[in-house]
Structure 1
Amino acid sequence: METLLLGLSEVGTSSVLLAILIGALIGVTIGSIPGLEPAGVISILLPLSFSMEPLAGVMLLVGVYGGAWYGGAIPAILMNTPGTPVAVLTTYDGYPMAQRGEGKRALSIAYTSSFVGGIISVTSLVLLAPMLAQVARLFGSAEFAMLAALGMIFVVLAHRKHTLEAAMMLGFGFFLGTIGIDRSYNTQNFTFGQEWLLGGIPLVPAVIGLFAMSQAFVLLSQKGQDAHITKLEGSGFFSGMMEIVHHKVTVARSAFLGVVMGLLPGVGEFGSQFFSYTLAQKFSKTPDKFGDGAPEGLIASETSNNAVTASVMVPLLAFGIPADALMAMLLAVFMVHNYIPGPTLFMERPEFISGLYISLFLMNIVVFLYLSVATRWIVNLTRIRGRFIGAFILVLGFIGSYSQNYLFSDALIALGFAIIGYILRRNEIPAVPIVLGLVLGPVFLTRFRQAMGVAEGDLMVFIERPISLMLFMLIVLSIGFYIRGRLKDARQAATA
């Protein structure tokens, strides 16, 4: 009870409440505009969050993240254009419902499903993070090295159709993480005598360039990006809420899959949405209606992707291991304020943890209420032209990358990564592995060296300890199942 009261006092400050509100509103806005991804906007806001209170800075970014997943359903349902990448499956059943004149009903189902998924996700964070933090107390250097390696393997295998490209991008990010001064031997790695590389590749300019400025280049290069006109038809926004009760099994199954997938680095919303939609169709009494306006499909899609939003924070809080690009940005916020994720954070900063839980619940409530009453005006955001958005993001990207350390070199680094990100986008090559390689690579190298030093160079240290052995076996099994799946696909292709 004392911790809860401390958490309420943390959340009760004007800065935190304002951060939740602004973050949620920005997130909904971003999700409502096709072509504008939340990762880019979050990266621009990252330098601003450093100057805020720890909880306020975290909630500003998380509010954008969670709000975007809610708002992405609006253009997906009304325009057949996903507002966010994870809203692709929402178009399958949401848009046919809108074509039948049931746009408001579809949006109501999407909002309610997202709200239920978000609340269940936060509940899972409250229950799982402290438990896993206690397990993390048993971790040594070998275990953390294997956990970082497992995270990188999952990131690569999650990009099933682009595994080779993802592995190359992860290796590129890993290499970038080695640039700078090696503090173990006090030597310079790949700096080529350039003083601005002594501190390594800064995370913030890299993220801004890869996600925000590269997206700006894409928007600026598009032709004929005229405003879209969207009609909002059907009964009231609360008409679809009872659908959740009628399909409670689908809701529970999709939320469970979302929570579980959120715990796995690199899998996240895409994996949970695919499995949830597939299982919903398999167990449905009317599977033939999926893709033709089935409420169950819409419920499965929206519940699963929002059930990831808080559970994805479990590995970060418990182990200090980011599961995706956003968690890597949140890790930077934690480190700036000297809040080290892991077991010690739960003991030393219980008021922060409790405040984070309460803030996440509050964020979902704010977004749901805002969308329930303001959708008729939010729809107008779909009419903003892409080139205008691209120019605006490009300016903000340069300002954000420069303002962190007030170094012109950071702006040039952001520009370099923007060009790389643009090339990757045009060729459909994933950019997220670069960021996770940049973050997890140094963690793996440091912990690997420490483990080898303690074991006097004996590699058996990674399989002699039970937890390390279990993580190693997970790596082997993951690779084994992936190879088996690829061989099966090859045989089916040869047969066809």
Structure 2
Amino acid sequence: MDLLLSGLEILARWDVVIALLVGSVGGVLIGAIPGVGPAVAIAILLPATFSMDPIVGLTVLLGIYGSSMYGGAIPAILINTPGTAVNALTTYDGFPMTSRGEARRALSLAYSASFFGGVFSVICLMLFSPVLAKVAPMFGSREIFLAALLGIILVITAHRGQTLIAAALASFGIWLNTIGLEPVKYTKRYTFDQAFLSSGVNLIVVVLGLFALSQAFYLLQGEDEKTRITKLKGGLFQGLRELARHPRVAGVSASFGVLMGMIPGVGEFTAQFMSYTYAQKTSKQPDSFGHGSSEGLIAAETANNAVPAAAMVPLLALGIPGEALTAMMLSVFYVHNVVPGPQLFQNDMPFVVALYLALLILNVMVLVFLLFSTNQLIKVVKIPNRFLGVVILVLSFVGVYSLRNSVTDCVLAAVFGVLGFVLKRLSLPVVPIILGMVLGGIMEVKLRSGMARVKTPLDFIDRPIAAILFVMILIVLGLHIRRVWLDHKHLKEAKWSNKHSSTRFGAHLSRRKSFLLAERGKKRRAERSMFTRPSTDKD
């Protein structure tokens, strides 16, 4: 109770309240505009948050992060265009409901499911905080190094079908972090006698280039789309009652979101897929999924909104971001000399509780805002793409220049913007570069400090948590190798079946194999489509 009161005392400031309001409303607006997304908004706002108090700056960013998925459901349901990448699964059942005249019901259900997922996640993690406070001090340099390594491996293996390119991009991010003065002996690395590289490549410059500028270029080269949206009639409160009729789906989906959010590199997509698959397999009407199922909509929206609070666990407890958005927030901590990790839970637990309370209040504010302002809010869907592109372009360059008043930073940001644009056009991931930069720096520092007490390779994993993390790394790699081998085997069998389908025996065998392959690969194809779905065209 004392921790709770201390957290409320930290939040009971006028600037924190304004930050909560701006973050919650701004996040909904950002999410509702296809083509922007929270990553772009957070990247643009990062330079401004450096001059704020840590709790104020982080509250704004958390507000955008947590509420953007609420707003992203609006265009996903109304015009079949996800406002954010993680709302792609919402289109499967949300838009079919709109097509049969149930847009108000779909939006109400999405808001209610999102609210339940967000609140469930925060409450679970507040109850779990005392355990984290006891476990976090057990992580030394070696454990944090292994946890960071596990995070990079999970990020790479999560990009199914693009594993090699994800590994290459993560390695590129790690290399970018090594440019400049190394942290121990301060010798120059990869500066090529260029003075501007001596200070290294600024993470914020890379973030603004890869996310904001690349998206601006993408929007500017496209065409403006005309959308027609019908005004909603009636209230939006019925979703709360309908959600209460599906407590099992909502509870399990929120649990998946919490568990997947705490694992670095996994996040919303895996949580959504697992929740949606569970809901479909246990439903009395599985055929309705993808055709306007209320259970499918609940599973998708509950899972993705349960992730943001859970994703703060590895960031706060270990200082390890699990995705690009939490990696950006990490820079706010560093600017204010607030070092996330075991010491934060030991020495500043009220600050951690205040962040979770901010997320709890945020969900309440967003739900109230959406229930009374959706008809006005849906107008932002009609904003032209090219206008958005110009606004993002201007704000991005202003943000980059304000960091160090450097034209060189603007040039570097433009270079990374072109790189990000090329990656978007090729449907290749950008996130591994950012996580490579952040986790690569953590790994280098922790490896150097951990090796001081290591005499043999086995000494590196001679402690329980280090051994567990090492075993987890081996398991993840083993499962990935097995999955790649099975995919190769199934592809080979499919080619063999197609080759022999001209014969009667081959046709019979082909039918049997096709059935078996369809059943065996159904889950795998659905998972792959989650990661390769071309949602970046609108994000």
- Residue by residue over 1:230-253, the C-alpha shift from the partner in whole angstroms, topping out at 9 and shown as x without a partner, is 114464211222121111100011
Report the CA distance between 1:483 and its aligned residue: 1.1
Alignment of 1:469 with 2:471, yes or no, is no
- Using the size of structure 1 for normalisation, the TM-score is 0.97
Q: Deviations over 1:361-412 (max 9, x none)?
A: 1111111110110000011111100000001000000001111222222212
CA deviations 1:155-189 (Å, max 9, x no partner) are: 10111121111101100000001111013222100
Distance 1:350 1:133 in 2: 8
Give the corresponding residue for 2:155: 155
| Aligned equivalent of 1:258 | 257
Partner of 2:235: helix, strand, or coil? Answer: coil
User: What is the letter of the counterpart of residue 333 of structure 1?
Assistant: V
How far did residue 302 of structure 1 move? 0.1
Q: CA deviation at 1:442?
A: 1.5
Partner of 1:485: 483
Partner of 2:269: 270
For residues 450 and 346 of structure 2, what CA distance do their matches in structure 1 show?
Answer: 26
1:101 maps to 2:101:
yes
Structure 1 ranges of 4+ moved more than 6 A: none
Q: Distance in 2 between matches of 1:250 and 1:5?
A: 33
1:228-377 paired onto structure 2 within 5 Å = 228-233=227-232, 235-377=234-376
State the Cα RMSD in Å.
1.3
Deviates more, 1:339-348 or 1:73-82: 339-348
Indicate conservation of the 8 Å contact 2:400/2:410, yes or no.
Answer: yes
For the 8 Å contact 2:76–2:94, the answer to whether it is kept is yes
Residue 390 of structure 2: aligned partner? 391
| Residues 235 and 371, structure 2, Cα contact 8 Å, conserved in 1 | no
| 1:129–1:318 contact (8 Å) kept in structure 2 | no
Once the two structures are superposed, the pairs formed by residues 203-242 of structure 1 within 5 Å of their partners are: 203-223=203-223, 225-233=224-232, 235-242=234-241
Alignment-derived partner of residue 35 in structure 1: 35
Residue type matched to 1:21 in 2? L
Alignment deviations for residues 419-467 of structure 1 (CA, whole Å, 9 cap, x no partner): 11001100011010100100110211221122222224x2222232221
Please list the CA deviations of residues 131-172 of structure 1 after superposition, one character each: whole Å capped at 9, or x if unmatched: 234222122221111111001001101111211111011000
Kept in 1: contact 2:256–2:275 (CA 8 A): yes
Equivalent pairs, count: 494
Deviations 1:322-371 (A, max 9, x none): 11111111111111111111222133323322221221111111111101
Distance 1:472 1:417 in 2: 34
Q: What's the counterpart of residue 80 of structure 2?
A: 80
Supply the AA of the counterpart residue of 2:378: V
Q: For residue 150 of structure 2, what is the amino acid of its counterpart? A: L
Unaligned runs of 5+ in 2: 495-539
Matches of 2:424 and 2:129 in 1, distance apart? Answer: 34
Q: Which runs of 5+ in 1 are unaligned?
A: none
Q: Does 2:211 align with 1:202? A: no
Which residue does 1:46 correspond to in 2? Answer: 46
Name the CA distance, whole Å, in 2 between partners of 1:232 and 1:68. 22
The DSSP-based 3-state class of the residue aligned with 2:162 is helix
Give the match for residue 190 of structure 2: 190
Paired residue for 2:65? 65
TM-score scaled by structure 2? 0.90
Residues 452 and 459 in structure 1, CA contact (< 8 A), matched pair in contact too: no
1:462–1:472 contact (8 Å) kept in structure 2: no
Decide whether aligned partners of structure 1 residues 130 and 430 sit closer, same or farther in structure 2, where only a CA change above 3 A counts. farther
- Whether the 8 Å CA contact 1:133–1:319 is kept in 2: the answer is no
Contact 1:328 1:436 survives alignment (8 Å): yes
Give the aligned residue type for 1:367. Answer: V
1:110 matched residue in structure 2: 110
Tell me if the contact between 2:136 and 2:345 (Cα under 8 Å) persists in the aligned partners.
no
Identity %: 48
Q: CA deviation at 1:468?
A: 1.1
Tell me what 2:493 maps to.
495
Matches within 5 A, 1:133-144: 133-144=133-144
Instruction: Tell me the equivalent position of 2:132.
Output: 132
| Contact 1:181 1:189 (8 Å CA) reproduced | yes
Contact 1:102 1:233 survives alignment (8 Å):
no
Contact (CA 8 Å) 2:176, 2:437: kept in 1 or not?
A: yes
Q: CA deviation at 1:123?
A: 1.6
Residue identity opposite 1:205 in structure 2: V
SS in 1 for 2:264: coil
Separation in 2 of the partners of 1:72 and 1:94? 12
CA distance in 2 between counterparts of 1:352 and 1:411 reads: 34
Tell me the SS of whatever aligns to 1:160: coil
1:102·1:235 contact (CA, 8 Å) conserved in 2?
A: no
Cα distance in structure 1, aligned partners of 2:269 and 2:278:
14
Aligned equivalents of 2:26 and 2:481: distance in 1? 42
Question: Partner amino acid for 2:483?
Answer: G
Paired residue type of 2:85 = P
State how far apart, in whole Å, the 2-side matches of 1:139 and 1:226 are. Answer: 51
Measure the CA separation in 2 of the matches of 1:413 and 1:128: 42
Give the whole-Å Cα distance in 2 for the aligned partners of 1:239 and 1:4: 32
Aligned to 1:442: 441
CA contact (8 A) 1:78 1:232 kept: no
1:47, 1:404 within 8 Å by CA — same for their partners in 2?
Answer: yes
Residue 404 of structure 1 aligns to a residue whose secondary structure is helix
The 3-state SS of whatever aligns with 2:421 is helix
CA deviation profile, 1:39-85 (whole Å, cap 9, x unmatched): 01100001111111111100101111111100000000000110110
Letter in structure 1 aligned against 2:492: A
What SS is found at the alignment partner of 2:15? Answer: helix
* Deviation by residue 1:187-243 (Cα, 9 ceiling, x = unmatched): 1000111222112111111101111110010000102x1331211446421122212
Kindly name which structure, 1 or 2, has the bigger radius of gyration based on alpha carbons: 2
Cα deviations by residue, 1:94-113 (Å, 9 ceiling, x for unpaired)? 10111111101100000000
Q: Whole-Å Cα distance in 2 between the matches of residues 128 and 167 of structure 1?
A: 33
| Residue 172 of structure 1: aligned partner | 172
Report the alpha carbon displacement of residue 304 of structure 1 after superposing the two structures with TM: 0.2
Letter in 2 for 1:491: K
Q: Which amino acid aligns with 1:256?
A: S
Give the match for residue 409 of structure 1: 408
TM superposition shift of 1:493: 1.8
- Whether the 8 Å contact between 1:31 and 1:83 is mirrored in structure 2 is yes
Q: Take 1:193 and 1:461, find their aligned partners in 2: how far apart are those partners?
A: 39
Q: Is the 8 A contact 1:44 1:397 kept in 2?
A: yes
